Amino acid sequence: MRTIFHLDLDAFFVEVERILDPSLRGKPVIVGGDPKYGRGVVAACSYEARAFGLHSAMPIRTAYKLCPHGIYIHGSHGEYSRFSKAVKRILEQYAPVVEQASIDEFYMDFTGCRNIYGSLFAFASFLQKEIRQKLSLPCSIGIGSNKTIAKIGSDCMKPCGITYIIPEMGKEFLAPMPVETIPGVGKVMLKDLNSKGIFKIGDITKLPQDYFATAYGKYGIDLYRKACGKGSEYLTVQWEQKSISHERTFADVTSKEFLKEKLFYLTGKVCHELREMDWQVATVSIKLRYSDFKTLTRAKTIKPTDDDEEIFEVAWDMMTKAYTRRIAVRLIGVRLTNFSNCSEQEELFEWTEIKRRRMLKVVNRIRYKYGYDSILIGELKRTGEIDKHPNYFQA
Q: How confident is the model at residue 1 (pLDDT cuts 50, 70, 90)?
A: confident
Average pLDDT for 99-114: 91
Q: Tell me: pLDDT of 335 over 70.
A: yes
181 and 160 share one domain? no
Average pLDDT for 49-70: 92
55 and 195 share one domain? no
24 and 122 share one domain? yes
Specify whether 105 is catalytic: yes
211 and 160 share one domain? no
Domain that holds residue 284: 243-393
**Structural domain tally of the chain?**
3
Residue 287 lies in a domain: yes
214 and 254 share one domain? no
Q: What is the pLDDT of residue 366?
A: 62
As a whole number of angstroms, the distance between CA 172 and CA 193 comes to 20
As a whole number of angstroms, the distance between CA 394 and CA 357 comes to 15
Q: Tell me: pLDDT of 269 over 70.
A: yes
> Residue 177's domain is classified under what CATH number?
1.10.150.20
What are the backbone dihedrals phi and psi of residue 324, each rounded to the nearest 5 degrees, phi first? -115, -10
Question: Quick check: helix, strand or coil at residue 90?
Answer: helix
220 and 249 share one domain? no
More confident residue, 371 or 111: 111
Choose among 233, 171, 226: nearest CA to 2.
233
From the candidates 15, 79, 92, 105, which is the catalytic residue?
105
As a whole number of angstroms, the distance between CA 224 and CA 395 comes to 50
As a whole number of angstroms, the distance between CA 277 and CA 341 comes to 9
Q: What is the pLDDT of residue 340?
A: 81
- Of 140-144, 229-233, 286-290, 330-334, least confident by mean pLDDT is 229-233
Residue 77 gets which letter from DSSP? H
For residues 164 and 151, the answer to whether their CB atoms sit within 8 Å is no
Q: Is 233 left (phi over 0), alpha (psi -120 to 50) or beta?
A: alpha
Choose among 1, 10, 55: nearest CA to 154.
10
Q: What is the pLDDT of residue 391?
A: 39
61 and 118 share one domain? yes
66 and 205 share one domain? no
374 and 285 share one domain? yes
Q: Tell me: pLDDT of 216 over 90.
A: no
Looking at 135, 165, 195, the residue that finishes a domain is: 165
Q: What is the pLDDT of residue 362?
A: 66
> What is the enclosing helix (H) or strand (E) of 111?
none
> Residue 280's domain is classified under what CATH number?
3.30.1490.100
More confident residue, 373 or 149: 149
> What is the enclosing helix (H) or strand (E) of 96?
none
Choose among 362, 357, 358, 356: nearest CA to 375.
362
Q: How confident is the model at residue 377 (pLDDT cuts 50, 70, 90)?
A: low
153 and 4 share one domain? yes
Choose among 353, 375, 354: nearest CA to 366.
375
